[in-house]
Structures are given as structure tokens and as C-alpha cells.
């Protein structure tokens, strides 16, 4: 079974919530953007409040997305009505245990500031564990519920039934995992800071920025990117700069904002955010346009193309990459790894050309909007930065073509079998046999992960055979069958349509030969 396709089906609503959160950040940052305000004068108290509310709500949705996924995946465990409640309680026990056992020796950015507690004059902290704490509790719950479901008579006492045993096991397990994280996580934090300091010690080296790009996107996927952003964007790892008045600024974002206020043409900050302009304004549109070109079902395409263009607009304005990256990871991991490499490569190339452009920061990391198109248009107004903008746009055009070409190539050529270890033609023929054979197929089209098939005889559909081919879901509609296959949908339907055309042409030739013979 195609496990990724299963997760994609289960997590569609959480992924859509990510795009909605990005939309809120986009609207809020539009209202607050200084370049917009310089023209439209939107900086009155009411609009500022609305902007802050929108960005805060969007930031909260993005920050707590892993919790939503955790609950959603637990809720899909079959015939387990109480697993979500037990899972939440277990995670709370995990956090409480960490509150009392977490040491105070790590850097401030590695702790969750909102969970800092004063008790008897002592400050208690909780480490930022990102998705890893939730993943540990998720597998704990699966283990507990699978083990207890295999046992028939856990206890003869009425008050110690199976659900009570599961709850107690969840509490104990959550506490144990919390203790393990409290004592083991400092080593992870030390390793992370070692990598960040290595990058910071040689920021003028393009390879250091190459490493920064990969590290940032992996931490974003792990929900730990706030540690890196706080240290590089706002603290000393991002550099220091002194203006003509003798004021010292630390952090890449703070230095960029200070340099914009100076009358001298001195711009050196922005190296840790400049790649976002290329990714949001060029890479993401290239990816989405390639996806739209693979939707062969005309009805679905007419509905989805406006949605894809809306997603492009949100990416350009909000500067948030996470929703797109999650979509890549769930539908086509190969494209995600390509994106990971390209992000690092873009950071290195821009560093090599000394292109460093910052963004308008509104005081909150969780709703930051780096690399948005409004800032780029505003920066273009500064003559000293024109050459950097032109180089960035040139790199962006090349990246757009690269993302479009690779995404299209993936879905058209290698989605069915990236490693080329099986016979693609045999797999496609087996899929067609699952539909009752080519003679039973009237028409077939595809969307991103689904095949839409109209067949002559519905009884000829071989469900078991289709499931063996990786199909996770089959839905019958008035327009035929919708078959969830995964990223191989476009490649499969294209091959089937090609074979149908060949068979139809062969029938025509045979008919002509028969008529001539008669």
C-alpha cells in the first residue's frame, strides 16, 4: 500500500489549514508592510490591530500544525475511540515531566518561552522538541493500543479494564519519554549550536550558506526553525554592525532594518533571508504551474487552477514555504529533496554574487514573512540595491525553469518508479487489468494523486488487484471511479491513454483491411 498516499488522504485538512494560516499572514503583512503604508497610509490603530490579529492567528496555526497532525493521525486508528484523549494526556505528562527535569544550561532560544515557570524562586524551562516529542508519543500510543488489543483478559476487576490500563500506561510512558528527552535533548541542542556556530564563523563562504539553507529547511520541517531564526536573525550569530552614531545592532534582520534607516549606501545584511525571494516568487510558482500542467481531468483542472494561482499569490506575499514543502513531502518526496538541494544551492549562489536582501520584520518569528514580493518591489526603489535585485531576478528565472522542468519530468517519467527497479510497462498493464482490461476502459484522466476512470462494466473492476498496485482508496461517482494512486497518477493515465489510442488505431487498420479483403 502507498503509505504516503494514505497520509496525504488523512492530512488534507491539516495541510489546507497551513495554507489558510499563510493566507492570514499574507493579509496581515500586507496591511502592516511599510512600503504599502508609504502609499496607502494604512497605519491607523484599527488596521494595525487587525494586522496583528491576522498575523498572530496565522502564526499560531503554523506553529501548532504538528499538534493538529498528531491528533489527526491518532483519530485514524481504527476502532479506538479514546486514543486521542489518552494521547493528549500522555503528551501533557511529557511536558510536565520536562518542566521539572529540563536543565537551565542551554541557550535561551532552545526553550519554549511561553512555558517558562517560576517556582520557589527557580525558573523552570521546557525544551523546544519540535515534532520529535509528538512523534515519540504517537508511537508510544500505537504500541500501547496494539499490545493491549492483543490481550483478551487484562484484568478481572471491573475498575481496571482495558481502557484504564491504556490510560495508566500512557501516563507512565509519557513521563518516561519526557525524562529521556530532558536528559538527552541537551546533546541534540549542543550539536545544533555547533553546526550554527560553524556556519556563523565563515558567513562569506558560499558553502557555509549552502549548509545554512539545508539546515534551515530541515529545521522548519521539524518545527525547530525558530531556534535558528532567533540566533541568526536576531542575535549575534547573524553578525553585528555599528552605525555612524555608535549604536550597535545584532542579528541579520535587525542590521538590515538599521541599514535601511541610514543615509549611507552601506548594505551587507540579508544574506540569511535573500534566498526566500527566489523561492517564494519563482520556485513555488514553477512548482505549482508544473502541477497544473499534469492535471488532465478538464473539470478538475478548471476548478483547481484558480486555487493553484491563489496559492502562488499567498506564497509570494506571505513568504511562508512550509505548506508547499509539506505538500511536496506527502505527494512526491523526490521533489522535496530536489527542493532541499536547490534551496542550499540558491543560498550559495546568491552569497557568491554578494546578493543580500532582508525583509520587513514585524516583531514575531512565527508570523515572519521573508522574501515577499512587496518588499522586493520596495527594495527596487533604492538605487544602491538595483544591481542585487537584477541578479536575484536572473537567478529566479533560472530557478523557475528548473522547478517547472524537474517537477514535470518527475510526474511524467519517474513518479511510478524513481529507482527504476521494476518494469513500468508491466505495472501499468496490471493497473489496466485491475480496471477490467483496456477493452473495459472508456476514458481515463488524472489529477495530482488520483485517476478518474470511466469503465464499461463496473463488475469487471478488480479491487484487490488495484490495491496491490498501490491504490489506497476507490470512490464511485456519477462520472466513474476516482482512484487514489499517488504521484504516479499522471504517468499511469498517460500510458493507458497512449495504449488506448494504439489499440483504437489498430482496430481501424484491421477494419480497413477487412473491408479491402471483402
Report yes or no: 388 and 273 within 8 Å, Cβ to Cβ: no
Using pLDDT thresholds of 50, 70 and 90, give the confidence band for residue 504: confident
Identify the weakest region by mean pLDDT among 6-20, 216-230, 395-409: 6-20
In this prediction, residue 518 carries a pLDDT of: 61
What is residue 235's predicted lDDT score, i.e. its pLDDT?
93
Nearest in space to 318 (alpha carbons), one of 365, 272, 374, 400: 374
What DSSP string describes 173-240? HHHHHHHHHHHHHHHHHHHHHHHHHHHHTTTTSHHHHHHHHHHHHHHHHTT-HHHHHHHHHSSGGG-E
State the pLDDT at residue 226.
94
Cβ atoms of 199 and 347 within 8 Å: the answer is: no
DSSP string, 137-151: HHHHHHHHHHHHHH-
Looking at the predicted structure, is the pLDDT value of residue 53 above 90?
A: yes
Is 90 exceeded by the pLDDT of residue 17? yes
Quickly state the pLDDT bin for 375 (edges 50, 70, 90): very high
Residue 88 and residue 134 in contact, taking contact as beta carbons nearer than 8 Å: no
60, pLDDT greater than 90:
yes
- 70-122 residue pLDDT tens: 999 998 876 777 899 999 999 999 999 999 999 988 999 999 988 778 777 77
Give the C-alpha separation, 440 to 456, whole Å: 5
> What is the arithmetic mean of pLDDT over 4-24?
90
Q: Is the pLDDT of residue 279 over 60?
A: yes
Overall average pLDDT of the 166-183 stretch: 94
Please name the residue that has the C-alpha cell 503528551.
91
pLDDT band for position 306 (cuts 50, 70, 90)? confident
Mean pLDDT value across residues 154-163: 61
Q: Identify the pLDDT of residue 101.
A: 92
Higher pLDDT, 55 or 465: 55
Give pLDDT, residue 1: 45
Give all domains of the chain, ordered by start, each with its CATH number.
69-193 (no CATH), 230-414 (no CATH), 424-517 (3.30.1360.60)
Does residue 365 surpass a pLDDT of 70? yes
The arithmetic mean of pLDDT across residues 227-242, rounded, is: 93
Q: pLDDT digit string (tens) for 129-146?
A: 999 999 999 999 999 988
pLDDT at 390: 95
User: How far, in Å, CA of 15 to CA of 10, rounded?
Assistant: 10
pLDDT level of residue 151 (50, 70, 90 thresholds): low
Reference 104, options 189, 177, 173; nearest CA is 189
Looking at every residue in the chain, the average pLDDT score rounds to: 88
The pLDDT of residue 46 is 87
Residue 10 confidence (pLDDT)? 87
Mean pLDDT of 192-217: 94
Q: What is the pLDDT of residues 446-464, one digit of tens each?
A: 998 999 998 988 888 888 8
Average pLDDT over residues 277-283: 97
Q: Residue 266 — very low, low, confident or very high, per pLDDT cuts 50/70/90?
A: low
Separation of alpha carbons 160 and 153, rounded Å: 11
**Mean pLDDT lowest for which of 152-161, 162-171, 455-464?**
152-161
For residue 153, is pLDDT > 60?
no
Q: Tell me the average pLDDT across 154-178.
A: 80
Place 64 in a pLDDT band, splitting at 50, 70 and 90: very high
For residue 411, which of 499, 283, 290 has the smallest C-alpha distance?
Answer: 290
Q: What is the pLDDT of residue 420?
A: 54
The band of 515, judged by pLDDT with boundaries at 50, 70 and 90, is: low
User: 3-state class of 114 per DSSP?
Assistant: helix
Asked if pLDDT for residue 487 goes beyond 80, the answer is: yes
pLDDT given for residue 413 in this prediction: 87
- Say if residue 245's pLDDT is above 90: no
pLDDT for 215: 96
Amino acid at each position: 500500500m502507498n503509505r504516503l498516499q494514505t497520509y496525504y488522504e488523512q492530512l488534507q485538512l491539516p495541510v489546507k489549514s497551513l495554507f489558510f494560516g499563510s493566507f492570514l499572514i499574507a493579509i496581515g503583512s500586507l496591511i502592516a508592510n511599510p512600503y504599502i503604508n508609504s502609499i496607502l497610509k494604512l497605519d491607523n490603530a484599527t488596521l494595525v490591530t487587525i494586522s496583528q490579529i491576522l498575523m498572530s492567528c496565522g502564526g499560531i496555526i503554523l506553529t501548532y500544525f504538528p499538534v493538529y497532525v498528531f491528533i489527526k493521525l491518532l483519530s485514524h486508528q481504527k476502532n479506538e475511540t479514546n486514543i486521542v484523549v489518552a494521547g493528549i494526556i500522555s503528551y501533557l505528562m511529557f511536558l510536565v515531566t520536562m518542566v521539572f527535569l529540563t536543565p537551565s544550561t542551554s541557550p535561551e532560544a532552545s526553550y519554549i518561552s511561553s512555558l517558562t515557570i517560576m517556582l520557589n524562586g527557580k525558573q523552570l524551562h521546557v525544551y523546544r522538541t519540535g515534532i520529535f516529542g509528538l512523534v515519540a508519543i504517537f508511537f508510544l500510543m500505537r504500541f500501547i493500543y496494539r499490545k493491549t488489543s492483543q490481550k483478551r483478559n487484562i484484568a478481572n476487576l471491573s475498575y481496571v479494564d482495558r481502557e484504564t490500563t491504556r490510560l495508566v500506561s500512557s501516563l507512565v510512558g509519557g513521563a518516561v519519554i519526557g525524562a529521556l528527552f530532558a536528559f538527552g535533548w541537551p546533546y541534540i541542542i549542543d550539536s545544533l549550536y555547533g553546526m550554527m556556530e560553524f556556519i556563523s564563523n565563515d558567513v562569506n563562504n558560499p558553502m557555509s550558506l549552502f549548509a545554512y539553507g539545508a539546515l534551515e529547511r530541515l529545521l522548519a520541517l521539524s518545527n525547530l526553525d525558530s531556534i535558528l531564526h532567533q540566533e541568526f536573525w536576531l542575535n549575534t550569530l547573524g553578525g553585528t554592525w555599528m552605525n555612524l552614531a555608535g549604536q550597535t545592532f545584532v542579528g541579520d534582520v535587525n542590521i538590515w532594518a538599521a541599514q535601511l534607516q541610514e543615509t549611507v549606501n552601506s548594505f551587507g545584511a540579508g544574506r540569511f533571508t535573500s534566498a526566500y525571494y527566489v523561492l517564494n516568487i519563482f520556485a513555488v510558482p514553477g512548482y505549482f504551474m508544473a502541477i497544473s500542467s499534469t492535471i488532465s481531468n478538464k473539470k478538475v483542472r478548471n476548478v483547481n487552477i484558480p486555487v493553484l494561482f491563489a496559492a502562488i499569490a499567498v506564497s509570494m506575499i506571505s513568504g511562508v514555504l512550509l505548506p508547499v514543502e509539506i505538500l511536496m513531502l506527502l505527494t512526491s518526496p523526490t521533489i522535496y529533496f530536489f527542493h532541499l538541494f536547490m534551496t542550499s544551492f540558491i543560498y550559495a549562489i546568491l552569497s557568491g554574487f554578494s546578493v543580500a536582501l532582508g525583509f520587513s520584520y514585524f516583531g514575531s518569528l512565527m508570523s515572519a514573512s521573508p522574501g515577499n514580493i512587496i518588499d522586493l518591489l520596495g527594495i527596487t526603489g533604492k538605487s544602491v540595491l538595483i544591481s542585487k535585485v537584477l541578479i536575484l531576478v536572473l537567478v529566479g528565472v533560472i530557478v523557475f525553469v528548473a522547478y517547472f522542468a524537474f517537477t514535470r519530468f518527475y510526474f511524467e517519467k519517474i513518479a511510478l518508479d524513481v529507482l527504476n527497479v521494476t518494469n513500468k510497462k508491466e505495472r501499468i498493464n496490471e493497473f489496466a487489468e485491475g480496471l477490467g482490461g483496456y477493452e473495459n476502459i472508456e476514458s481515463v484522466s488524472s489529477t495530482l494523486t488520483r485517476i478518474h476512470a470511466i469503465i464499461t462494466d463496473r463488475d469487471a473492476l478488480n479491487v484487490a488487484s488495484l490495491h496491490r498496485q498501490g491504490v489506497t482508496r476507490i470512490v464511485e461517482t456519477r462520472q466513474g471511479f476516482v482512484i487514489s494512486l499517488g504521484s504516479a497518477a499522471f504517468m499511469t493515465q498517460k500510458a493507458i491513454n497512449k495504449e488506448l489510442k494504439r489499440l483504437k488505431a489498430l482496430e481501424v487498420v484491421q477494419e480497413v483491411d477487412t473491408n479491402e479483403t471483402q
